[in-house]
Structure 1
Amino acid sequence: MGAYMNPNILDKDNILACSKALQNAEIIYQDFSNISPKPKDFVYIDPPYQPINNTSFTKYTKLGFTETDQVKLYEKCRALNKKGVYFISNSDSDFILYHPERHPNCLVIESKWQQSGGSVDEQYTYLVLNIKKQGIYDTIIIIDGNGYKKEALKCFKDQVGSNLIEVFSMSEFTSWVNKKKI
């Protein structure tokens, strides 16, 4: 797993917590173009990563996943979001994210991967925060793992201020969404 010498792949407590939180969830796996979630449904999207250069891997499917496909995915998400569907994704790209006209109501929080041992955000200097330039939105902060610095979390909280809804681990967030029926 990347540059880590001893990755903690099996996090038994987290897996059990996620399993418990998802007991009443309906999980559907299908092509994004065919989804039809109802308002307040929660959709997790793990789209193919936008290539960072001409030799990057792009063969996620027989036909690949082109910039045209990325735009179609974006447009589908935007249309569904207007109907009250919630999304989370772990993929971004300059092609989609850094066009304000494409995401005028989206809060983007970036963090750079750390290339040496330790957690992704172990060192505060690796965090790149662009919350203020995105505007003021109700915000949920999701932090996975326990390696983050308290100063980084404080900075997130300070920047979103009274718009902070909650801070969760991913398993806590899943459980909260399930209980809220949002």
Structure 2
Amino acid sequence: MKTVTIHLSTVILCLTLLLCFKVNSQEEAKKVRIYKIWVELTDKTKQKGFLYAIDDKSLKIISDLPLKNESEILNINPEDINQIKIQRKGKMVRSILIGGLSGGLLATLGSSDTSDDDSVVVQIYSEAAKAGSIVFGTLVGTSLGAIIGTGKKKIDISGDAAIFKSKREELSRYAMVKKSR
């Protein structure tokens, strides 16, 4: 009965923490989501930064945040773009945290229970095994979260302005400024 109470209190603690993050994240003003972008040009050089804006004639990226003046915006013509890779800023950290927490929680809930009738030696080894399984579950969850977090969305343009125009709507969802100046 004691272990059921411990597991139940652990679950309640985790749910409370998750709800705290959810309540705190509901702000009135809508935050701008920032996406990292890697652009491979047709001459095999690479440009990286943050996707600022997109229009029919160019892709606009900035190298550093915050944008101090408009001269820092780099315009790239569609004919010069071979491939675009996009990833949300902070995705890796969030994936690692979620993976570690879920792995640790699953290991905690899945640990074997000991009854009060067992000897002291069996109870000590059982507690050590529980601690080991929690550490192992957290490491596995963190590793899986890191693997998932490394994914980037790839868009092939191959220097074709028509392909760029057809992908413009999709790319504009990732831009900081939805309508370019």
- TM-score normalised per structure 1: 0.21
- TM-score normalised per structure 2: 0.21
Q: Which has the higher helix share?
A: 2
Q: Which has the higher strand share?
A: 2
